[in-house]
A and B are shown apart, each in its own frame.
Chain A
Amino acid sequence: MSIPLPLFIAVPLIIAFVLPMFGRKGKAVATALANMVTISLLVFAVASIGKTEVYEIGKWSIPLGINLVLDGLSSLLLLAINVVAAAAMLFSIKYMEQYTAKTKYLSLFLLMVAGMNGVVLSGDIFNLFVFLEIASLASYALVGFGCDHEELEASFKYMVLGSIASVFILFAIALIYGNTGTLNMAYISKAIQNSGLNAGLTFALAMFMAGFGLKAALVPFHAWLPDAHPSAPAPISAMLSGVLIKALGVYSLARIIFNVFGVSVAVGWVLITLGVLSMVVGVFLAVGQWDFKRLLAYHSISQMGYVILGLGIGALILANNGKVEWAAMAILGGMFHLVNHAVFKSLLFLTSGSVEMSTGTRQLKELGGLAEKLPFTRATCTVASASIAGIPPFNGFWSKMILVIASVQAGFLWLAAVTVIVSLVTLISFLKIQRYVFLGELPENLRQTKENKGFMLIAMVFLACLCLLMGSLVLVPGLKESILEPAVKVLTDGLNYSANIIPKL
């Protein structure tokens, strides 16, 4: 069964504008409808695994028209986005009852999903920018959804930096259009291969790295993330940390660098430097935090560093004409970590939301001894913490192990050492969460705390099961070939991307 690609964008986009019409009375209907959308998108995403498809919008053939491209990398990202979206939407059913204007929230949520699906499917660089703006605008509004002091401040900060990033990206697109005369990624890639990089295109690449780096919150572009992600409602934090920074930042960066511009040694080193900086700075800033969600947000920076590191090692090996298998190993580590991080980080944010909803606070010092009061939250949080810290047999362990093996293979022993040390510091900070939230003495005012049952629990248990089972993505042979390998192959093939898209005459 083949799913028409525009459905991934059209369904959430249309429903997003239908939902506000339900108003306050039809809230239950609107919630059910939104959940149906996210779950059916998840089904679509699962059904689209392993397919390669080019869809021309309105039957205008490229380069005249706009095309949507589904390949290994896109379908991997689609899967991650829609898994997290479905879980976060289930979680929102009850969690968002504490806010007013729930239908507006659902509508913005679906807009964000539509934007992200559009970004990963788009084969046209300006179209990518438009979808990126849809997703970004929805996320700015969602960060400030509570309309409280901190939320507005965080939203403004996020919005200023996000808008600057968007302007950079648009400027780079204009430069590319001026130099190559086309906006289709495959044709841009072909033009660059024919003419080589000139000063304008190199500048465009630098602008892209700054713009997408800002969207991905890599150090030194990370300043907005620790404010924006904790301020949003918990399911939105899960979406932002879980998939938004990946779809808008890392995916776009990887696509532009590997498939459009082609890798070079300099780019490889820039990626490795950004990755190592993000890993180390993020994790050390995280250890000192006393706000549950803020701590998690800093870990997002650090974990994104792993992904970028894997991509950087892969790019460096490819640029030096090294062994493709080694490059593929490094990129596999990065991509696998990306998916894993989507799952365990969104789970962690959902558990933090559950704790916050039950207790009314997320300051670690005010919590404690909740292990008995919130048994399920505790269990799922432990699973996610073990995953992020890289404890076997959870998924984080496998991707980190692949990254360590890949960096040793490539001859970067110090990178392997950094990876392991950062992982240890991560473990320490999550032991801190366990110690201050779930163990220790129960404060007097939290005696009445009750576990959140129902849909919130289903969402958390679903993600926790995924954390446990995702190790099989690399261990079970068939799954690896059908899900992860195609994504890696898209990146290692590099500039062949254009040859695959442009129809042969």
Chain B
Amino acid sequence: MPYALCFLLFMLGLYCAVVKKNMVKIVIGILIMEYAVNLFLVMLGFRVGGIAPIIDRAQYDPVIQQVAAGFVNNSVDPLPQALVLTSIVISLGSLALMISICIRTYEKYGTFDITQIRRLKG
């Protein structure tokens, strides 16, 4: 069920990016898609009632001199979280560039409406 909602969010973003005429709304649509994918990545590693994937003294088993067996089975997967951090940074970079191009375009054309920004044809 959460995956279906996540996919719905992705589709909403795609719809927004494809259908809307306002440049800023298109950018928002792309961002919604990116957030949906980030959410999906985090959910892949999520585990109900899981613990943070950090080994501290509580997880250390003094008898067998290594990490307790329950740790691997209970902790959430840390890798998707690292991936999401990376992808958030990337989408931040592309957002900054997209918005600055929107602003420059507004200065040139005086509108955000893409149906009126049509110098390129053919």
Which A residues form the contact surface with B (CB < 8 A)? 126, 130, 133, 137, 140-141, 144, 147-150, 152-157, 159-160, 163-164, 166-167, 170-171, 174, 177-178, 183, 226-227, 231, 285, 288-289, 291, 294
Contacts and interface: CB of A to CB of B under 8 A. Distances in A.
Interface string B92-103: 011001100110
B34 A167 contact: yes
Contacts of B44: 174, 177-178
A160 B19 CA distance: 12
A425 B17 CA distance: 36
Contact of B30 (A144, A152, A164, A177): A164
B122 A294 contact: yes
Given A152-B108, A171-B10, 6 more contacts: A149-B109, A152-B101, A153-B120, A170-B87, A177-B41, A226-B122
B17 A159 contact: no
B105 interface: yes
20 contacts: A126-B83, A126-B86, A137-B93, A140-B101, A150-B119, A152-B101, A153-B119, A155-B101, A156-B102, A159-B98, A159-B101, A160-B30, A163-B98, A166-B94, A171-B37, A183-B79, A226-B122, A227-B120, A231-B120, A294-B122
Interface of B: 10, 14, 17, 23, 26-27, 30, 33-34, 37, 40-41, 44, 79-80, 83, 86-87, 90, 93-94, 97-98, 101-102, 104-105, 108-109, 117-120, 122
Interface of B is mostly: helix
Contacts of B108: 148-149, 152
Nearest to B32: A167
A141 B97 contact: yes
B80 A177 contact: yes
Given A149-B108, A226-B122, A130 B86 contact: yes
Contacts of B98: 156, 159-160, 163
Contacts of B94: 133, 137, 140, 159, 163, 166
Given A130-B86, A156-B105, A159-B94, A167 B30 contact: yes
B121 to A, nearest CB: 9
B90 A164 contact: no
B62 to A, nearest CB: 26
The 3 tightest CB contacts between A and B, nearest first, are: A167-B33, A152-B105, A178-B44
Contacts of B119: 149-150, 153
Of B37, B86, B120, chain A has the most CB atoms within 10 Å of the CB of B120
A167 B12 CA distance: 14
Contacts of A226: 122
A157 B101 CA distance: 10
Contacts of A164: 14, 17, 30, 33
Contacts of A130: 86, 90
A167 B37 contact: yes
Given A156-B105, A167-B37, A177-B80, A133 B90 contact: yes
Contacts of A148: 108
A144 B101 contact: yes
B104 A147 contact: yes
Nearest to A161: B17
A130 B83 CA distance: 10
Nearest to B18: A164
Contacts of A144: 101, 104
Contact of A289 (B10, B23, B80, B122): B122
